[in-house]
Amino acid sequence: MKKLLCIIFTSLMTFGALAQSTSYPDRQIRIISPFATGGIADTFSRVVAQGLNESWRQPVIVENKTGGGGNIGSDFVAKAPPDGYTLVMGNIGSHAVNPYLIKNMPYDPLKDFQPVAFVLDAEGLLVVNPSVPSKTVNELIAYIKANPGKISYGSGGVGTTSHLAGELFKFLAKVDMTHIPYKGNSPAITDLIGGQTQIMFATMPTVLPFVKTGKLRAIAVIGGSRTSALPDLPTVSQTLPGFEVSNWIGIFAPTGTPTPIITKLNTEINKIMQLPNNQKRLEAEGAKFRAMTSETFGMFQRNEAQKWAKIIKDSGINPE
């Protein structure tokens, strides 16, 4: 009898999930952007939202819930009903690294979320305010060492790529810089241009326009290879072997979201990101898309968490 009841219960659960996925979506979907307006996560949250809206003819809105290096918005989604109607655009910080940098995490990025779809990997730049005389990585290291404690670098918040890159740079170059966290990349870039900070490790789309107008100076690429956007610019790793930082973002749902809904979202988001206009936009902004299943994206997320856990430990960075 117990076995029979178990079979019946499992069948009902499966039937319920299938029925739910068949009608999904039948109302408004929210994508939570846990980072400031204007940043790459926010920008492509809106690209995905527009694409889903056009495909499914249901309203898809983007709602900003910023702060805590992405923790505030991500925690909101972790505790939302697992029905596919509340999603989050997470990144390397909020969904891989924060547990190793923040003492009191309100959620577990690996246990409390179901990876849905990889969205992009943005190329990044090491940029400085034009008042900094350095034009190469070696010159910048020498400049920081000549001004101990006087140089600061801004970031989009604790645990963001801009923060991790700064800490990795400090460790490998053996320099002393002060970290100034902001609620997103946009305000950090504003203060960098204004001279309140001197250095930033930022995504290509957010700083390239300012590099082109001379408001910022690009020193090097923070990824593993040069970029077609600035082909003559070297990578940081050419001077500091071992320095390589990937700034990725992707869509996540609360754990427990039915698999058919996850699959439906994954399939549609992959289609959206491969549309010709979106591919052109990615190329123009120095970003790359890789189509992944939700399972492959989950493996990628776990590998990133393991990689940065080791780097953070080896660098001697203590959770704050």
d(CA 70, CA 224): 25
Q: What is the pLDDT of residues 65-124, one digit of tens each?
A: 998 889 999 999 999 999 999 999 999 989 999 999 888 899 999 999 999 999 999 889
For residue 49, what pLDDT is reported? Answer: 98
Q: What is the rounded end-to-end Cα distance, in angstroms, of the chain? A: 53
d(CA 176, CA 199): 12
Cα distances (Å, whole numbers) of residue 100 to 32, 33, 104, 248, 315: 23, 22, 10, 18, 12
Q: What is the pLDDT of residues 304-318, one digit of tens each?
A: 999 889 888 877 777
Q: What is the mean pLDDT of residues 200-225?
A: 93
pLDDT surpasses 90 at 215: yes
90-110 core/surface letters (b: 16 or more CB in 10 A; e: else): bbbbbbbbbbbbbeebebebe
DSSP-H helix ranges across 228-320:
259-273, 276-284, 294-315
Q: What is the pLDDT of residues 150-159, one digit of tens each?
A: 999 999 887 7
Name the token pair of 219.
């020193």
Count CB-CB contacts under 10 A for residue 308: 24
Structural domains of the chain, with CATH = 29-121+247-315 (3.40.190.150), 124-238 (3.40.190.10)
d(CA 23, CA 96): 32
Q: Are 248 and 95 in contact (CB under 8 A)?
A: no
Q: Name the DSSP class of 236.
A: G
Q: Name the DSSP class of 122.
A: E
Name the token pair of 231.
């082909």
- Entry pTM: 0.78
Percent of the chain residues topping a pLDDT of 70: 93
d(CA 49, CA 306): 30
